[in-house]
Amino acid sequence: MRAGPRAPLWYPRRRVDAGLHPARWWRPAERGKLLCTLCPRYCLVGEGQAGFCYIRQNHGGQLWSAGYGRSTGFAVDPIEKKPLNHFLPGTRVLSFGTAGCNLGCAFCQNWDISKAKIDQHASEISTPDEVVQLALRTNCDSIAYTYNDPVIWAEFVIDVAKEAHRAGLANVLVTAGYVTAEARGELFEHIDATNVDLKAFTEAFYRRVTYSHLEPVLDTLAWLKRETSVWTEITTLLIPGLNDSEDEIGRECDWILEHVGPDVPLHFTAFHPDFKMTDRPRTPASTLGRARQIARERGIRFCYVGNVHDAEGQTTRCPGCSATLVVRDWHAIRRYRMEGNRCLECGTEIPGRFHPGRHDGTERRTPGLRYGVTLN
Ligand code: SF4
């Protein structure tokens, strides 16, 4: 049940940008302001102003989304790039985002779009049907809502996701999980898989480095496990000296084990200096390896490293017999040996969504990638 009034079927007399779309999840507040209830930032948006994410705006006493149907560009990615290692391995996913973001990460790796305003960034106008047709034309199995945080353009995510399901495509949400309890049910209703960024395991990091809070993200993760069937993987980008201590990694793993369980794949990925954080070095491969070792010792059954070449750290092994099931190199599949969701050797069930049938090929490469695909 949404908290805000129903999206208007009429447009207010005040003229608004033709690119604006009625927003949901808001309610009127004092002195003509509107309270946006989509993310835990709960912005109070004055007349003619935008919320922190920029793309939700108050015009004429209504909240509008400037992100609906306005992609900053499309790309065909391997699903491993999201990263998702236990969801349709080796398939292609049509990926897109919009401008704006509801977090303020100093290390943002997509800052050119997440910090852009719609009118500063070339935006492609598209309808849900056009996005789905593009995914079909480019032989994708799924659509990923990604690059900036799709929470802030939830209205468009929902409309595209419904259309994608009608066409037999899966939906993937790549998010920081910073969404309110009142909006998350509808946002995830048509989502099949998600990767949630757990950016650190201290409130101090969240507050100082991302301008947000840890607790709502943990809430989303626990809720995904408890209340939904959305396939979930977690990513933590390790930044030297900020969130990579053995104690913090251990506490993060303990929390995941208790609230999400040992089967959720956990990815530790390497940071590179970017945006406002250029004073830190790249994450050494040894830090990722140590983090993976800690996770496995604590009981996380599937832990991977990313943004580095490390075949062993990216390999899926059977927890029953240690057989090698999926060998990855960066985002490419080098070997795929499974029977549906089971180990080819001992029959142990592997959590996730894998391809039906028997696959014992020694070579299975991710199809060639295409960047900058366009609607027409
Ligand atoms: S979605 Fe945007 S406008 Fe709404 S509370 Fe979050 S940052 Fe503010």
pLDDT at 275 over 50: yes
102 falls in which pLDDT band (50, 70, 90)? very high
- Whole-number pLDDT of residue 112: 64
Q: Is 4 in the pocket of ligand 1 (CB under 6 A)?
A: no
3 falls in which pLDDT band (50, 70, 90)? very low
51 CA distance to ligand 1 centroid (A)?
5
Number of residues written out for the chain = 376
351 CA distance to ligand 1 centroid (A)?
34
Number of alpha carbons in the 13 Å side-chain half-sphere of residue 363 = 0
Provide mean pLDDT across the span 50-74: 93
Q: Is 42 in the pocket of ligand 1 (CB under 6 A)?
A: yes
Strand 170-175 versus strand 26-28 pairing type = unpaired
Provide mean pLDDT across the span 283-312: 95
Q: Is 53 in the pocket of ligand 1 (CB under 6 A)?
A: yes
d(CA 20, CA 38): 17
55 CA distance to ligand 1 centroid (A)?
8
- Whole-number pLDDT of residue 365: 52
Closest-CA residue, ligand 1 atom 6, reads 39
pLDDT at 93 over 90: yes
- Whole-number pLDDT of residue 357: 86
- Phi-psi map region of 308: left, alpha, beta (phi>0 left; psi -120 to 50 alpha): beta
Strand 370-373 versus strand 358-361 pairing type = unpaired
Q: Is 51 in the pocket of ligand 1 (CB under 6 A)?
A: yes
pLDDT at 11 over 60: no
